[in-house]
Chains A and B, each alone.
Chain A
Amino acid sequence: MTRAAPGALLLVLALRPAAGQHVTIGPQLALADYREVAPGLRYRGSGIGGAVSARRDKLSVEAAVVRLSFDPTDGSAATTGFTATQVDAWIAYDVAEYASVEVGVLHRSADPEFDAQSVGAVRVGARSFYEIGPGATVVFRANYLAAPKFSGGGRATVSLDLGLGLDVRLAGRLHGTAAYAFNRMNRKTDPGGKGEIDAPIQQTLARLGLGLAF
């Protein structure tokens, strides 16, 4: 799974800008909220990352990497924080003027390894985008996270990811970007072989950044 993100990045970089094609790349700041198993296990964190996107005609590719430092929130049952590295990648194809279908991957690794669940999943979904003004586009996406794998085991038949995105051309090639992602995984695990118990995972993530378009 970890090879997917560099592969997507390479794919993006291989797409040289040409007619009907553009590439945007830039850094991002991230804010996140992470909850797992029970209401008392709550973390809040921030971090930095980067994103790259490319479009050629109806095909678009997008990838983002962010490294987050999570700390337990007030009243959390957790005593120590952890860091997480999350990679998201999408390949989308426009099926209509304002809509496209997309597939991709989600990978989140936690360090220390057992302080939170590391997870990897395949994304399948759709997104809608609309240019609300000159150089300003809003995006809404809904992905089903298929076949998620957890470092602590278990399964999650219902895992969804919702997203809201904004891309605004600030000046010339400079773009401002904002992206929100909410994902919920109904993880079930059977730790002692005595039957499955719910161990849901829920994360909200906001990324704010700048992008340079080519």
Chain B
Amino acid sequence: MSRHFSAVVLLAGLAVPAGGAAQAVPSAALRRAQQAYDNLEYRQVLSLARAALRERLAGGERARAYELLGFTYGAMDSILKAVDAFKQVVLIDPERQLDPNRVSPKAYSAFDVALRQVLLVRQLRVDSVSFVGGQGAVPLRFTVTQPARVVARAIGNGGTFAIDSGAWNGQVNLRWPARLASGDPVPAGTYTVVVDARLGQNTFSASQPIRVSHGRVDTLPSVASLPGYQFLPETEIPPQSWRPVGLAFLYTGGALVGTLGLESSSLGASSKRELGLVGGAALATGFVMMLRKPAPRPAAANILYNRLLRDQIARRNQDIAKENVARRQQVQVTVAALPK
């Protein structure tokens, strides 16, 4: 008889979740319920656990009380009640997990049924990863306990970015490239990965903080000149010549010849005083201009050369800008999950 009792105690001990026995139980009723469960006094467990639930318990203690009820109902073959108790457990602590190797199959199956009857997003995990932008992705996974419309987002100072969405159930594995629509990686900073599940009126959210950091990017500076090529002056000073006085002489001579040719023979030779004044002024101006330093004039060949050089520099800078865009997009992105 005593050997049989020891075996039952051993089984009951195995049925209790890991850490459950070692967990400190501040509530006296809950502590006694735990002791009664350890002693396989199931009816006493029920009354003590219910009494504990009537007290003001913290979340963990409340979950533990329901968990004792669930195990006890499972042991007493009251599966529906066990399921109800486990539903309360997972609603209080969605991450609660039972080890199938350490709990009774009845309790485990009741717990499993309970999980399927409430909408939960559980076990959201974001793996720490490091990859080159555009050549990798952040793996994240979670479990949805019921078929639901699920939206996963990353929310942070850099903005809100949709990761993925869909109608999912069970284990979901996603890969987030952590890139903007432009191809740039999402800005560095702290983000919270939020997974929202909606099924009818029921909703549930799970979140996981992460930190996104960027490696150093070596961008190329734009160029203002090309090696070996220099801009040439776009004006040149022509050499001094007799051209100004020659042109003044030509124009004045034209006026003189025209005047002499058009003079009316019947009126006699016209006065040359007026032409002398203006023609003299033109010739004097031409002479002065001949002695003066000529004005700079555009150097067409140099202007063309400079234009080609500027075009080449602009083209080179465009290439550099494109290359810099690619370099910025290919930055080393490191994503690390943070403690909640």
Is A162's CB within 8 Å of the partner chain B?
Answer: yes
List residues of chain A with CB within 8 A of the CB of B294: 133-134
| Given A33-B270, A202-B263, A180 contacting B277 (CB threshold 8 A) | yes
User: Which of B271, B281, B285 has most chain A Cβ within 10 Å?
Assistant: B271
Interface size counted on chain A using CB atoms at 8 A: 38
| Given A35-B270, A39-B267, A132-B247, A164 contacting B285 (CB threshold 8 A) | no
Q: Which of B39-47, B86-94, B132-140, B248-256 contacts A (4 or more CB under 8 A)?
A: B248-256
* Interface CB pairs A-B, < 8 A, 22: A31-B274, A44-B271, A130-B247, A132-B285, A133-B288, A133-B294, A133-B295, A136-B286, A136-B289, A138-B286, A162-B258, A162-B262, A164-B255, A164-B275, A164-B279, A166-B282, A178-B277, A182-B274, A184-B264, A202-B270, A204-B259, A206-B278
| Given A32-B274, A132-B247, A140-B251, A182 contacting B262 (CB threshold 8 A) | yes
Is A91's CB within 8 Å of the partner chain B?
Answer: no
> B257 to nearest A CB, angstroms?
9
Is A163's CB within 8 Å of the partner chain B?
Answer: yes
List residues of chain A with CB within 8 A of the CB of B307: none
Is B273's CB within 8 Å of the partner chain A?
Answer: yes
Complex A-B, nearest 10 residue pairs according to Cβ-Cβ distance, in ascending order: A133-B289, A33-B271, A206-B274, A180-B278, A164-B255, A132-B244, A134-B295, A39-B268, A162-B258, A204-B274
Is A186's CB within 8 Å of the partner chain B?
Answer: yes
| Given A198-B266, A202-B270, A206-B273, A162 contacting B259 (CB threshold 8 A) | yes
CA separation between A198 and B265, bound complex, in Å?
12
B271 close to A204 (CB less than 8 A): yes
B270 close to A206 (CB less than 8 A): no
CA separation between A200 and B258, bound complex, in Å?
17
List residues of chain A with CB within 8 A of the CB of B277: 31, 178, 180, 206, 208
Is A25's CB within 8 Å of the partner chain B?
Answer: no
Is B54's CB within 8 Å of the partner chain A?
Answer: no
Q: Which residue of B lies closest to A31 (CB)?
A: B274
> B236 to nearest A CB, angstroms?
14
List residues of chain B with CB within 8 A of the CB of A32: 274
Is A139's CB within 8 Å of the partner chain B?
Answer: yes
CA separation between A136 and B294, bound complex, in Å?
11
Is B340's CB within 8 Å of the partner chain A?
Answer: no
CA separation between A38 and B266, bound complex, in Å?
6
B295 close to A138 (CB less than 8 A): no
Is A160's CB within 8 Å of the partner chain B?
Answer: yes
- Report which A residues bind B (CB closer than 8 A): 31-33, 35-36, 38-39, 44, 128, 130, 132-134, 136, 138-140, 142, 160, 162-166, 168, 178-180, 182, 184, 186, 198, 200, 202, 204-206, 208
Q: Beyond A35-B268, A206-B274: 13 further Cβ-contacts under 8 Å?
A: A33-B271, A33-B273, A35-B264, A134-B289, A138-B252, A162-B255, A164-B252, A164-B282, A178-B282, A180-B255, A182-B262, A200-B264, A205-B274
CA separation between A38 and B264, bound complex, in Å?
10
> B259 to nearest A CB, angstroms?
5
> A122 to nearest B CB, angstroms?
19
B258 close to A182 (CB less than 8 A): yes
| Given A136-B285, A166-B285, A200 contacting B266 (CB threshold 8 A) | yes
Is B96's CB within 8 Å of the partner chain A?
Answer: no
CA separation between A204 and B260, bound complex, in Å?
12
A182 close to B273 (CB less than 8 A): no
| Given A140-B255, A178-B281, A39 contacting B244 (CB threshold 8 A) | no
CA separation between A128 and B277, bound complex, in Å?
20
List residues of chain B with CB within 8 A of the CB of A182: 255, 258-259, 262, 270, 274-275
Q: Which residue of A lies closest to B269 (CB)?
A: A39
CA separation between A102 and B303, bound complex, in Å?
34
Contact with A along B77-114 (1 / 0, CB 8 A): 00000000000000000000000000000000000000
> A89 to nearest B CB, angstroms?
20
> A88 to nearest B CB, angstroms?
14
List residues of chain A with CB within 8 A of the CB of B288: 133
B244 close to A31 (CB less than 8 A): no
